[in-house]
Amino acid sequence: MEEKVKKELEEFKKFKENYYFNQKELKEENGKIYCEEEFLQDEEEIIGETGKWINVGFKLKSSFSKMLSNLYPYKFQFKGKNLNSIESFFQGIKFKDKQTQEYVFDYSGIEAVHLKNASDYNWKETGIVYWQGEPINRFEKEYEDLIDELYISAIQNPIYRGVLKNCDKPIIHSIGEIKKEETTFTRYEFEYELNCLKDFLRSR
């Protein structure tokens, strides 16, 4: 591991041990969803940003919403591999074959999301994902540690680091999946990781 990433990862893990995260509740009323009394979404519209929060979504209008999305095309190195987005990691680990996985790393954004249809392996049946041919249980701490290293690697990209550091509102992700069995990164995991990372950077 690159020395800078290793040092920052250690600092982040210590920060995370004492970090209190309270996920914001989404309330539904008359077909509309609200967060902290602010309108969030209905069947026709999703709000990206209010005075109280930033809702992450690549297709939303707010610049923060787009740039905090895993779909945004940030280039960075992770464990010696070049990735073109954070999303390419989350799609790549659904492929067993190392070489195919590296092809996935070349994609970013929505393109990477669609690549799951090219895999002949369904990780949901076993709960096992792969990093460079090595199996990892999605539900174990080893996976959480991998995610921490992923995001610390990603913030070595100065643009991603900058947008997180400049974000002065709580981050939510209303369109995220809820169950771990259905996704490699749930709404809760995403919100926890990004809010913790944001506050870690802003505290330095």
Sign of the C-alpha dihedral computed for residues 10, 2, 163 and 76 taken in this order: negative
DSSP three-state, residue 49: strand
Class of domain 3-202: mainly alpha
Q: What is the pLDDT of residues 96-114, one digit of tens each?
A: 999 999 999 999 888 988 9
Amino acid at 120: D
Per-residue pLDDT of the chain (204 residues; tens, 9 = 90+): 689 999 999 999 999 999 999 999 999 999 999 999 999 999 999 999 999 999 999 999 999 999 999 999 999 999 999 999 999 999 999 999 999 999 999 998 889 889 888 989 999 999 999 999 999 999 999 999 999 999 999 999 999 999 999 999 999 999 999 999 999 999 999 999 999 999 999 998
Q: Where are the domains of the chain?
A: 3-202
Q: What is the pLDDT of residues 30-44, one digit of tens each?
A: 999 999 999 999 999
